[in-house]
Amino acid sequence: MLKSGVHFGHKKSKRHPKMAPYIFTTRGEISIINLEKTEKYLKEALLYLENIASKGGTVLFVGTKKQGSELVKKYAIECGMPYVNQRWLGGTLTNFVIIGKMIKKFKKLNERAESGELAKYTKKEQLDISREIEELDTLIGGIQNMAKIPDAIFILDLKKEKTPLREALKKKIPLVALCDTNTNPEEIDYPIPANDDAVKSIDMIVSLISAAIKSGKTKRAQEAEFAEKAKISEVTSAE
């Protein structure tokens, strides 16, 4: 964690008072996060997310800041979870019916493009459709396989992602988030006190989250396999 710069917070003048319990000291006006607290709360968050995945739940990754957007996409894809890494579309959680219609449209347009059906249109019409596909991909490409509101949401930067935070709180969706020294951890179910600006810090924590989810999925698959073998054994014994 030290090598990844997880402990570096913001200037003392930007410190949120609710983050005081997670801060170890101040050096050169910079708040230093208590890594013992980070380790404790990170473990709790990872266990929680692993449990969700083991039950077949969905975790939505949200992170649109420049230094973390590609990492959010990378690790969300690795663990097979939906993500938003470009721009949050207002109503994604609070008006999911409309979002669902947009997803259906996006998929239909992609199917038409892949089948070669667009060839019958004029070049201008093809260009307009291609632009619409690109726009929809930016907005909902990462959530195109999210059939319902997620069981939990991971937010990379609470200051930047204010809209998804509000929507999640309104819908009472459990939240896991990096909490830098300038944020309010009391709004988060599973806060992870950590630097949310440094690439190495983001990479380390998001990769661990992805690994925990993959572990949960593996457990689910193993349990399903065990149950199936037990079922076959029972049938064989009965015969």
Query: In the chain, where does DSSP find H-type helix?
Result: 35-54, 66-78, 96-115, 123-140, 162-171, 199-238
Assigned token pair, 229? 């073998």
Structure confidence at residue 78 (pLDDT): 98
Tell me the C-alpha distance between 50 and 100, whole Å.
27
- What's the rounded mean pLDDT across residues 55-78? 97
**Long-range contacts of the stretch 169-176 (C-beta < 8 A, 24+):** 170/93, 170/94, 171/93, 171/94, 173/93, 173/149, 174/48, 176/45, 176/48, 176/49, 176/59, 176/152, 176/209
> Which DSSP helix (H) or strand (E) runs through 26?
strand 23-27
Tell me the C-alpha distance between 43 and 47, whole Å.
6
Residue 225 has pLDDT above 90, yes or no: no
Tell me the C-alpha distance between 53 and 67, whole Å.
27
Contacts of 70 (CB under 8 A, 6+ apart): 85
Give 94-148's CATH code, choosing from 1.10.3470, 1.10.10, 1.10.3210, 1.10.287: 1.10.287
Assigned token pair, 48? 């929680």
* CATH match of 8-86+150-238 with 3.40.50.10490: yes
Describe the crossing of helices 123-140 and 96-115 by its angle, rounded to 10 degrees. Answer: 140
Greatest pairwise CA separation for the chain in angstroms: 76
Comparing 163 with 126, which gets the higher pLDDT? 163
pLDDT band at 233 (very low <50, low <70, confident <90, very high): low
With a pLDDT cut of 90, the percent of the chain lying above it is 82
Q: Fill in the amino acid letter for 201.
A: S
Residue 165 has pLDDT above 90, yes or no: yes
- What's the rounded mean pLDDT across residues 43-54? 98
- Check: CB of residue 217 under 8 Å from CB of residue 28: no
What's this model's pTM, rounded to 2 decimal places? 0.92
Terminal Cα distance for the chain, rounded: 57
| Domain ranges, ordered by start, for the chain | 8-86+150-238, 94-148
